[in-house]
Amino acid sequence: MAASPGLNDSFIEEGYWWIAGREDEKVGGTLSFDPANGPVLKLLGLLHDLVASMDAALGAGGADSPTIYGVTTKGKPVTLLRAFNANRQLNMPGLAHETWKANILVVGIHLDSEEEPLFLRSYVRFESIEDWLGHRPFTSIHDSDAKTITVVASKPQQSHLADHKISRSVAPAASTPTTSQRHAIRSMQ
């Protein structure tokens, strides 16, 4: 079984797509994703009814930013949040089709909104975090004659991270002493 695509992997998936309130009016289409262009959904049909689609095509509709739901031919649920119509063609005679783009793509679950919590908890591991923080919490001193290694752990200065909603403080775990600790490890020879 092939691994699921990662955040920087391109992919193309076919499936059925719909919006809330029109679950029985699924539209066939193809979702493509690449890191440069983001998600692009090309539909053979319309997500909205014909009148609403014509109004939007003529500029009479309001700003449309629906959540689009889908299921791929492989059975994976997909959600496109903050979607916007990039192209709509109403061919008469012929088939109507449209192209949607979105700001957020979630594969594996249907979300009602971007505010809906996805995880109860998560863990992050950084490579070279010491370089990024400019702090190395552990230093060691090797004494070959005494056959000892002394490890010194020092608490970093508190750093503040901020986002557009709240400010958070990052500090070491509460069990970390406020002063440096020294531990000697004696070689057993």
Which pLDDT does position 54 carry in this prediction? 63
Distance separating alpha carbons of residues 182 and 189, to the nearest angstrom: 22
Residue 75: pLDDT band (50, 70, 90) is very high
Which pLDDT does position 161 carry in this prediction? 54
Higher pLDDT, 11 or 123: 11
pTM over 0.75: no
Mean per-residue pLDDT, 85-97:
84
With a CB cutoff of 8 Å and minimum separation 6, the contacts of 105 are: 33, 38, 39, 78, 79, 80, 81
Q: Is the pLDDT confidence value at 138 over 90?
A: no
Q: Is the pLDDT confidence value at 128 over 60?
A: yes
Whose CA is closest to 43, among 76, 83, 103?
83
Tens of pLDDT, residue by residue over 97-107, are: 899 999 889 99
Whose CA is closest to 18, among 56, 68, 80?
68
Higher pLDDT, 185 or 162: 162
Higher pLDDT, 113 or 86: 86
Q: Is 6 helix (H, G, I), strand (E, B) or coil?
A: coil
With a CB cutoff of 8 Å and minimum separation 6, the contacts of 163 are: none
Domain boundaries defined on the chain: 11-107, 129-186
Which pLDDT does position 58 carry in this prediction? 62
In angstroms, the Cα distances linking 81 to 5, 123, 125, 175, 176 are 19, 24, 27, 41, 41
Which pLDDT does position 31 carry in this prediction? 97
Residue 22: pLDDT band (50, 70, 90) is confident
Which pLDDT does position 130 carry in this prediction? 73
Distance separating alpha carbons of residues 21 and 41, to the nearest angstrom: 19
Residue 169: pLDDT band (50, 70, 90) is very low
Beta-strand relationship, 181-186 and 27-34:
unpaired
Tokens of 145: 């004659």
Which pLDDT does position 77 carry in this prediction? 96
Q: Is 130 helix (H, G, I), strand (E, B) or coil?
A: helix
